[in-house]
């Protein structure tokens, strides 16, 4: 008989976050040796070449100008109406699909994923995601009694593996009548990969096939990093493909202000839904309102107000775009140096296009990271490889990094 007080279903639950553990080791090393003598590749936030956390200047200016009431007053559980409209606008930009749309304010992108899983998958059943994924998906599923199943993101040519995706969908739908699919694109965490319009066309063909057989399919597109994936309308071009889909194919987007507005700790996001059915969207909004009230009650009013101000002012939008472009260019330059040197030294890297992270495939990620720590390089060990956050490594520390990672991989 257990001697602890927790419910039996909760006994043994323990958070094992390898990324935060690696980050803690990097901070300890910085204190011991000096930040200038280590490479901290664990951070998932943008930092300038001074290695300080970066905030978009216009965001800081607006935030500091808000009245105290915006920081202390409650907001409706579903979110301020203006914020919900702004989140829809920010999600789609000029590429809004045809159909009915609504949004629910959430506690960051994580909150959006949580309520999508809660409301669009059945207890005890499978949710599908790619094998190269944000590890928190697993916990978000298991926390509420779902099982995360994966498909291989890449085929032998390092392109999107539509065969693995199609096979996984078919296998799951032999056993259940509905399925939630989570796809993190563009600027996938942890690879920097992005699905093309052709990839999405093939994904939707698979979904249509099963919908015609009476299955219900929900797709959650995790767009947490889209603000740093390139031209805002080009990166969203695939969204038009979700226009007028069959009633039983429902698309959602997990929107976050963490990356695009550098408001990581303010925990503001939204779950945005688009459907050909007005009734599906009405149900989506009511379920979202209920889930929000029973999960976090309501979210950061000040952050919601900031988004409303920006989206209501063309001049501010242009400033945000310009400041993001400057941050994006810094990340692009760092990634370009690393990828060029990886090619020169023969380091195998997962296909990278844009985004915060580059990953190196290895079956011994923990051992590789331990080797790197011996050189005062700190990276995140994942199930399929080692993740490096080029979003936060200063350009001066990039040259030679790929060769050192190659040495560590070869050593194990």
This prediction has a pTM of: 0.95
Instruction: Examine residue 193 and state whether it is found in any structural domain, yes or no.
Output: yes
- DSSP string covering 60-127: HHHHHHS-HHHHHS---TT--HHHHHHHHHHHHTT-PPSSEEEEEEESHHHHHHHHHHHHHS-TTSEE
Task: Specify whether 156 is located in the same domain as 248.
Answer: yes
Task: Specify whether 286 is located in the same domain as 402.
Answer: no
Would you say 218 and 228 are in contact if contact means Cβ atoms under 8 Å apart? no
Tens-digit pLDDT profile for residues 10-25: 887 887 777 888 889 9
Task: Specify whether 294 is located in the same domain as 392.
Answer: no
- Round to whole Å and give the CA distance between 264 and 380: 19
Handedness of CA 69, 74, 79, 80 (dihedral sign): negative
Instruction: Examine residue 309 and state whether it is found in any structural domain, yes or no.
Output: no
256: β partners: 269
- Round to whole Å and give the CA distance between 99 and 96: 9
- Round to whole Å and give the CA distance between 119 and 254: 14
DSSP letter at 146 equals -
**Residue 348: pLDDT above 90?**
yes
Would you say 313 and 277 are in contact if contact means Cβ atoms under 8 Å apart? no
**Residue 301: pLDDT above 80?**
yes
Bridge-based pairing state of the strands 39-40 and 357-361: unpaired
DSSP letter at 238 equals G
Instruction: Examine residue 339 and state whether it is found in any structural domain, yes or no.
Output: yes
- Give the pLDDT confidence score for residue 6 in this predicted structure: 83
Number of folded domains that form the chain: 2
CATH number for the domain spanning 133: value is 3.40.640.10
Would you say 376 and 404 are in contact if contact means Cβ atoms under 8 Å apart? no
Tens-digit pLDDT profile for residues 125-153: 999 999 999 999 999 999 999 999 999 99
Task: Specify whether 141 is located in the same domain as 38.
Answer: no
Range of the domain at 333: 8-57+317-411
End-to-end CA distance of the chain: 43
Task: Count CB-CB contacts under 10 A for residue 173.
Answer: 20
Instruction: Examine residue 52 and state whether it is found in any structural domain, yes or no.
Output: yes
Task: Specify whether 288 is located in the same domain as 349.
Answer: no
Task: Specify whether 258 is located in the same domain as 348.
Answer: no
């Amino acid at each position: 008989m257990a001697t602890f007080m927790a419910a039996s279903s909760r006994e043994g639950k323990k958070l094992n976050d390898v990324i935060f553990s690696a980050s803690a080791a990097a901070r300890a090393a910085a204190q011991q040796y000096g930040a200038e003598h280590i490479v901290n590749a664990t951070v998932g936030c943008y930092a300038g070449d001074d290695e300080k956390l970066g905030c978009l200047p216009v965001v800081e200016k607006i935030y500091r100008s808000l009245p105290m009431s915006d920081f202390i007053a409650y907001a409706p559980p579903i979110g301020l109406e203006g914020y919900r409209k702004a989140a829809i606008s920010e999600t789609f930009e000029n590429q809004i699909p045809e159909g009915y749309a609504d949004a629910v304010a959430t506690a960051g992108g994580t909150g959006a994923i949580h309520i999508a899983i809660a409301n669009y998958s059945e207890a005890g059943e499978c949710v599908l995601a790619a094998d190269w994924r944000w590890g928190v998906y697993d916990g978000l599923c298991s926390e509420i009694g779902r099982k995360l199943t994966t498909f291989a993101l890449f085929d032998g040519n390092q392109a999107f593996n539509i065969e693995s995706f199609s096979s996984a969908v078919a296998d799951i739908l032999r056993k259940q009548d509905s399925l939630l699919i989570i796809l993190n694109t563009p600027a996938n965490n942890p690879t920097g990969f992005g699905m093309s319009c052709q990839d999405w066309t093939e994904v939707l063909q698979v979904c249509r096939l099963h919908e015609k057989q009476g299955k219900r399919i929900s797709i959650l597109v995790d767009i947490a990093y889209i603000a740093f994936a390139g031209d805002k309308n080009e990166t969203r071009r695939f969204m038009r493909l979700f226009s007028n889909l069959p009633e039983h194919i429902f698309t959602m987007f997990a929107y976050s202000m963490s990356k695009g507005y550098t408001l990581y700790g303010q925990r503001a996001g939204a779950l945005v839904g688009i459907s050909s059915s007005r009734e599906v969207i009405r149900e989506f909004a009511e379920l979202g309102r209920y889930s929000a009230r029973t999960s976090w009650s309501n979210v950061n009013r000040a952050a919601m107000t900031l988004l409303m101000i920006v989206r209501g002012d063309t001049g501010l939008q242009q400033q945000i775009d310009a400041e993001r472009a400057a941050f994006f260019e810094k990340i692009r330059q760092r990634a370009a140096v690393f990828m060029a040197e990886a090619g020169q030294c023969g380091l195998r890297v997962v296909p990278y296009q844009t985004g915060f992270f580059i990953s190196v495939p290895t079956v011994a990620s923990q051992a590789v990271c331990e080797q790197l720590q011996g050189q005062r390089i700190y990276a995140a060990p994942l199930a399929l490889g080692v993740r490096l956050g080029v979003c936060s490594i200063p350009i001066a520390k990039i040259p030679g990094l790929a060769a050192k990672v190659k040495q560590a991989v070869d050593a194990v």
